[in-house]
Amino acid sequence: MKNALLVSLLSLASTTALANATSSVVQTEQAPTRAGYSSVDEVIEYGRQYQEIKGQLLDAGYELQSCNQHVLNYFVQPASAVYLYAQAECTFSRSVGGDYSLETNYAMVKIDVEYHQFNQLFHEGTVNVNYVTVY
């Protein structure tokens, strides 16, 4: 009787542990790693890293001058699931020293836009900022 009770308790404990392990594996597979967007314009408009950098630049007195997109053309579609689809370059500027000064600070933000072939969504990739001062 004691052996039967011990075996039932052990089997119940192992079944519960297996169910918990299985549910945690399923949850991690379904969790999205990054936000996906339906176009390159949406990545630029809603991308988390770019929006943070843009907000910091605007708070520092920079003004957005222009944003240009460059779609990369491949001879053969890349075999990898995620590949670099386009790059966007946005230029911000700020006058230093008042209205009559010729000194200008520039910030050039480069955004990599990646495409996920299986999800058919665009993702924000690396975002880099370069600063230049022109006298």
Reported residue count of the chain is 135
Q: Nearest CA to 53 among 94, 85, 91? A: 91
- Residues 84 and 125 sit within 8 Å (Cβ to Cβ): yes
Residue 29 located in a structural domain: no
92 burial via Cβ count (<10 Å: 0-12, 13-18, 19+): buried
pLDDT digits (tens, 9 = 90+) for 98-130: 667 788 999 999 999 999 999 899 999 999 999
Quickly state the pLDDT bin for 33 (edges 50, 70, 90): low
- Range of lowest pLDDT (69-83, 91-105, 117-131): 91-105
Please check the confidence at residue 1 and state whether its pLDDT lies above 80.
no
Residue 11 located in a structural domain: no
Domain of residue 118: give its range: 40-134
Domain count, the chain: 1
Residue 93 located in a structural domain: yes
Asked whether the CA dihedral 83, 127, 44, 35 is positive or negative, the reply is positive
**What is the maximal distance between C-alpha atoms in the chain?**
96
Please check the confidence at residue 52 and state whether its pLDDT lies above 90.
yes
Please check the confidence at residue 67 and state whether its pLDDT lies above 80.
yes
